[in-house]
C-alpha cells in the first residue's frame, strides 16, 4: 500500500508542475491526442479560451464589421511579422449576412492557423497559435 501511495503523490507533483508550460494550451485542445488539431478540436478550444469576447464589444454574441475593424486595428500593432495574413471581414462572413457568428469566427482563425491548408493544425502551426494566445500575443491583454 505504501508504494501505491508514493506513486500517487508522484503523479500529483507532476500534475502540479504542468502549469509552468501553460502557454502550450493548444496541446490540451488535442482531445484525440493525434498531435494536431482538427477544426472541431480547434473550435471547442478556441471558444473556451474566450477570444471572441475580445472582438464582441457589445457582447451580443455576434461580431459586426465595426467591431471587427476596431479589434483588427488594435491587433495590427501586435501583428508584426507574421507569416500569415489577417483575413478581411468579408472573407470571414461565410453566409454574407453582415455579421460573424462564433462558427464563422472560429473557422476564420482555424484557416488562418492552418497555414498549409492541410485541414489540421500541426505542431508547427500550433506554435504560432500558442504565441498569439500567450501574454504578449494577439489575444493577450
**Is 87:114 a contact under the CB 8 Å cutoff?**
no
Among the residue ranges 8-16, 45-53, 82-90, 116-124, the one whose residues contact Ca ion (CB under 5 A): 116-124
From 1-9, 12-20, 29-37, 130-138, span contacting Ca ion (CB under 5 A): 29-37
The reply to whether 34 sits near Ca ion by the rule CB under 5 A is yes
Q: What share of the chain is helix, strand, coil (3-state, %, to 5)?
A: 55, 5, 40
Q: How far apart are CA 108 and CA 134, in angstroms?
A: 19
Tell me which of 69, 88, 103, 118 binds Ca ion, using CB under 5 A: 118
Binding mask 49-68 for Ca ion (x = CB under 5 A): -------x-x-x-x------
Question: In angstroms, what is the minimal distance from the CB of 44 to Ca ion?
Answer: 11
Q: What angle, rounded to 10 degrees, do the helices at 102-113 and 123-133 form?
A: 120
Rama region for 93: left / alpha / beta (φ>0; ψ in -120 to 50; rest)? beta
32: contact with Ca ion by CB under 5 A: yes
Stretch that binds Ca ion, among 4-12, 17-25, 81-89, 109-117 (CB under 5 A): 109-117
Q: How many CB atoms lie within 10 A of CB 120?
A: 20
Q: Among residues 104 and 130, whose Cβ is nearest to Ca ion?
A: 104
* 128 is a contact residue toward Ca ion (CB under 5 A): no
Kind plus residue range of the DSSP H or E element containing 99: strand 99-100
Binding site for Ca ion (CB under 5 A): 30, 32, 34, 41, 56, 58, 60, 62, 93, 95, 97, 104, 114, 116, 118, 122
Amino acid at each position: 500500500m505504501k508504494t501505491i501511495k508514493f506513486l500517487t503523490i508522484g503523479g500529483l507533483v507532476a500534475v502540479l508542475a504542468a502549469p509552468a508550460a501553460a502557454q502550450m494550451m493548444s496541446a490540451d485542445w488535442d482531445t484525440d491526442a493525434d498531435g494536431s488539431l482538427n477544426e472541431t478540436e480547434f473550435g471547442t478550444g478556441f471558444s473556451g479560451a474566450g477570444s471572441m469576447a475580445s472582438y464582441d464589444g457589445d457582447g451580443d454574441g455576434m461580431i459586426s464589421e465595426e467591431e471587427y475593424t476596431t479589434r483588427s486595428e488594435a491587433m495590427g500593432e501586435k501583428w508584426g511579422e507574421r507569416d500569415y495574413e489577417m483575413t478581411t471581414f468579408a472573407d470571414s462572413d461565410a453566409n454574407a449576412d453582415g455579421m460573424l457568428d462564433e462558427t464563422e469566427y472560429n473557422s476564420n482563425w482555424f484557416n488562418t492557423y492552418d497555414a498549409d491548408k492541410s485541414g489540421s493544425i500541426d505542431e508547427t502551426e500550433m506554435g504560432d497559435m500558442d504565441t498569439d494566445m500567450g501574454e504578449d500575443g494577439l489575444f493577450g491583454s
